[in-house]
Amino acid sequence: MEKPSFSPLIAGTMKWGKWGAQMPQTQMSRYIEHCLSLDIRTFDCAAIYGGYTTEAEFGAALADLSIERKDFRVITKCGIEYPCEQNPIDLKHYDCTFDYILSSVERSLQRLRVDSLDLFLLHRPSPLMDPEVVAAAIDVLKKTGKIQSFGVSNFSTSTLSLLGKHVAIDTNQIQCSLTHLSPFTDGTLDVHLQNKISTQCWNPLGTLFSNKGDREGRIIDLTTSLSKKYGVAVNALCIAWLLKHPARLAPVVGTANEKHLSEMAESVQVEMEQIDWFRLYSASTGIDVP
C-alpha cells in the first residue's frame, strides 16, 4: 500500500471548536480554505477534542467545501476515554482493546465524513496495551481500507520498540518545541530517524506565548532580532527551527487565528543558518552547549 504524503505543516483542530475558538461552521469552512490556500493540506483531529464534538464540526465544515478527497489529508486518534457530557463515565482512562479501536475508528469516520483516515494514531500509550491486540486491530483497519497508515502519539522509545515488533509504525506525534527540548537529547529523534518513523510535533510553539518566564523572554528577544534577518515573524522562526532538524519534523500548528497561520506558513521558506539554530537552542537552555 502506498503511504499517503502529508504537508510540511499540519493544522491542529484541537482549539477550533468547544476547547477554544468555538468557530461556527461557516467560519470553520473558511478557516479550512485558508489552510489550503497556504498549502497546509493535513488536518490533525482526535476523537476527544471538544469533548468528542470537534471531529463532527470539522467534518461538517469540510463537507460544505466539496474539496476533492485527494486534496486533503485527515489524521485522527483514539484511546483516551475522557469523562464529559458526550461520554458520561466517572474516570479518565485509556483504552486500546481490539473492539474499542475498531469502533472508535468507525465513529471518527462517520463524524469526519470520510471513508478512510490517512493516518490513525493511538493517542497515548496505555500500561495495559497488548501489542498483539493492537496489531490485529490495525491489520483489520488496513485490510478494510479504513486507515491508510498507522502511528502513535506520546510514545517513549521503549514502547515504540515494543509495539514496532508487531505492527509497522509510520509516525510518532510528540510534544516538541523550543521550550520542550527532551526529544532532541533523550534518543527519541534518533530512534525515529533510525526506524524511518515520521515525527509530528504538537504544541510546536511551546510555552512561548503562554508563559512569561526567563526562558520565554530570552527566546522572544532573540527571535525578535532574528525576525529582521529572516524577514518572518517570531512564531514562524520557532517553526523554522523545528523544520531544520534532519528528522524532517512536521509541526502541528494549533492556532485558530488566520494571521498567525499565514505567518507560520512562511516558515517553510526560511533557510536557517546552523549558528542561529544553536543560538536559539542556547537561548532556550540558558547555557552554551558543552
154: left (phi over 0), alpha (psi -120 to 50) or beta: left
Is the Cβ of residue 205 or residue 219 nearer to ligand NAP in the bound state? 205
DSSP 188-246: HHHHHHHTT-EEEEESTTTTTTT--SHHHHHHHHHHHHHHHHHTS-HHHHHHHHHHTST
Within 89-148, the residues that bind ligand NAP by CB under 6 A are: 123
Q: Which long-range contacts (CB under 8 A, 24 or more apart) does 192-197 make?
A: 192/247, 193/246, 193/247, 195/160, 195/164, 195/169, 197/151, 197/160, 197/169, 197/170, 197/171, 197/172
Nearest approach, Cβ of 65 to ligand NAP (angstroms)? 20
Asked if 173 touches ligand NAP (CB under 6 A), the answer is: yes
Annotate 147-172 with DSSP letters as a single string: BS-EEEES--HHHHHHHHTTS---EE
Among 6, 7, 9, 14, binds ligand NAP (CB under 6 A): 14
Interacting residue with ligand NAP among 27, 116, 154, 195 (CB under 6 A): 154
Residue with Cβ nearer ligand NAP (205 or 243): 205
Q: Which of 31, 49, 52, 230 is catalytic?
A: 49
* Binding of residue 252 to ligand NAP (CB under 6 A): yes
CB atoms within 10 A of CB 199: 23
230 is catalytic: no
Binding positions for ligand NAP, 208-227, rule CB under 6 A:
209
12 near ligand NAP, judged by CB under 6 A: yes
188 binds ligand NAP (CB under 6 A): no
153 binds ligand NAP (CB under 6 A): yes
Nearest residue to 2 via CA among 135, 116, 166, 159: 116
Residue from 148, 172, 203, 267 touching ligand NAP (CB under 6 A): that is 203
Q: Binding to ligand NAP by residue 256, rule CB under 6 A?
A: yes
Residues designated catalytic? 49
Applying CB under 6 A, the residues found at the interface with ligand NAP are: 12-15, 44, 123, 153-154, 173, 202-205, 209, 235, 252-257, 260
